């Protein structure tokens, strides 16, 4: 089973990050993150990745009927290696730490396991999953159980209070904000992020927590794009606010929910809050409408913002 946050590799020296659980038309939906050039692995940006595949490997460009969007996708027979976050974390915790990043990961997991948190529900993604970390790498943990994920968030809050972890400083927040390139002001971005407790600093290294819970929709559900939209509404349910994709039920005459496919706005709002939402309006085959935030990787012009 291929899950979001896994990585897959092909024989052409391409490594993709999986962006959706399961398969569609026999293909794993993903996004190109690394390619091998002159014997070296190179991390690539979105624009370059799209252009590179169009020019060199158009077979990995795919129009998803489920998302009504062009994605990267790899047929299962073309996958030469599947990187599993849970399996890799088990390996990294059992062995000796060969660098400072691994040492910080192991120390963090010891802290998180205290108070009864089950590490079996957690994996490692990002550069550590594929062994491409460097001295400046972040630690990207992924959790597969919603209840455990919220226990982890509470644990991070407690570790910060105990000064065993630290909140991001001004430079850290600015770097995170620039990396996200979101349509919020810096102050707005920081205010929303600080209350999520899904990122912090350990030994001067940033770590992130993300959730990949079991799919809530039946496979094969399809959406059609209706165009850009901007609305204001109250959030009436945030149970799935940290899922991938995140989902917020809203009180609106025509639109039932917001689905968020970018980590920038995961956990962005809480039940009872009034929000401004900008994104792409979609409808399923029954005419039920939702707004998608993160219809492309950068989510330009798309956002969820709490009205304070």
What CATH number did the domain enclosing 122 receive?
Answer: 3.30.460
Return the closest-CA partner of residue 127 out of 11, 31, 212, 17: 17
Return the closest-CA partner of residue 140 out of 223, 83, 188: 83
Does one domain contain both 146 and 127? Answer: yes
Q: Which of 49, 83, 117 is the last residue of a domain?
A: 83
Query: Mean pLDDT per segment of 10 residues, for the chain of length 308 residues?
Result: 94 93 92 90 91 96 84 94 96 90 95 87 95 92 95 95 95 90 92 96 95 73 89 97 93 95 93 97 93 77 94
Does one domain contain both 199 and 228? Answer: no
Does one domain contain both 134 and 205? Answer: yes
Q: Which of 31, 65, 83 is the last residue of a domain?
A: 83
Q: How far is CA 37 from the centre of its chain?
A: 26
Task: Return the pLDDT at 300.
Answer: 80
Range of the domain at 152: 85-211
Model-wide pTM > 0.75 = yes
Q: Which of 34, 65, 83 is the last residue of a domain?
A: 83
Does one domain contain both 244 and 275? Answer: yes
Name the DSSP letter for residue 24.
Answer: B
Question: Does some domain include residue 118?
Answer: yes
CATH of the domain at 275: 2.40.50.140
Does one domain contain both 28 and 106? Answer: no
- Gap between the Cα atoms of 248 and 266, Å rounded: 10
Does one domain contain both 93 and 126? Answer: yes
Task: Taking the CA atoms of 273, 145, 263 and 253 in sequence, report the sign of the dihedral they define.
Answer: negative
Task: Return the pLDDT at 205.
Answer: 95
Question: Does some domain include residue 206?
Answer: yes
Does one domain contain both 77 and 192? Answer: no
Task: Return the pLDDT at 204.
Answer: 94
Q: How many domains does the chain have?
A: 3
Residue entry with tokens 């990207």:
140
Does one domain contain both 273 and 295? Answer: yes
Task: Return the pLDDT at 214.
Answer: 79
Beta-strand ranges (E) seen in the chain are: 7-10, 14-18, 27-37, 40-43, 61-64, 69-75, 79-83, 122-125, 139-143, 199-202, 205-211, 223-237, 246-251, 255-260, 274-284, 289-293, 303-306
3-state secondary structure of 32: strand
- Gap between the Cα atoms of 207 and 262, Å rounded: 17
> Angle at Cα 81 formed by Cα 80 and Cα 84, nearest 5°?
155
- Gap between the Cα atoms of 9 and 15, Å rounded: 4
> Angle at Cα 212 formed by Cα 271 and Cα 24, nearest 5°?
115
Does one domain contain both 202 and 94? Answer: yes
């Amino acid at each position: 089973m291929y899950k979001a946050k896994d990585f897959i590799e092909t024989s052409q020296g391409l490594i993709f990050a999986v962006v959706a659980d399961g398969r569609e038309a026999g293909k794993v939906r993903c996004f190109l993150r690394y390619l091998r050039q002159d014997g070296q692995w190179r991390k690539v940006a979105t624009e370059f990745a799209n252009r590179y595949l169009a020019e060199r490997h158009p077979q990995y460009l795919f129009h998803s009927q489920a998302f009504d969007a062009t994605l990267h996708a790899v047929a299962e027979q073309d996958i030469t290696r599947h990187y599993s976050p849970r399996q890799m974390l088990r390996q990294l915790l059992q062995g000796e730490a060969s660098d400072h990043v691994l040492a910080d990961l192991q120390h963090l997991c010891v802290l998180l396991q205290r108070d009864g948190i089950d590490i079996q529900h957690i994996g490692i993604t990002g550069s550590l999953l594929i062994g491409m970390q460097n001295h400046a790498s972040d630690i990207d943990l992924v959790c597969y159980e919603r209840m455990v994920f919220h226990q982890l968030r509470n644990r991070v809050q407690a570790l910060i209070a105990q000064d065993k972890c630290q909140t991001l400083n001004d430079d850290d927040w600015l770097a995170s904000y620039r990396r996200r390139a979101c349509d919020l002001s810096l102050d707005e971005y920081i205010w929303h992020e600080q209350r999520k407790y899904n990122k912090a600093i350990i030994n001067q290294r940033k770590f992130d927590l993300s959730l990949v819970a079991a799919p809530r929709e039946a496979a094969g559900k399809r959406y059609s794009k209706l165009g850009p939209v901007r609305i204001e509404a109250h959030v009436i349910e945030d149970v799935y606010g940290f899922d991938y994709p995140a989902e917020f039920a809203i009180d609106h005459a025509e639109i039932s929910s917001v689905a968020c496919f970018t980590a920038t706005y995961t956990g962005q709002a809480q039940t009872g809050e009034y929000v401004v939402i900008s994104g792409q309006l979609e409808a399923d085959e029954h005419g039920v409408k939702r707004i998608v935030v993160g219809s492309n990787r950068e989510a330009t012009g798309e956002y969820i913002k709490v009205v304070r």
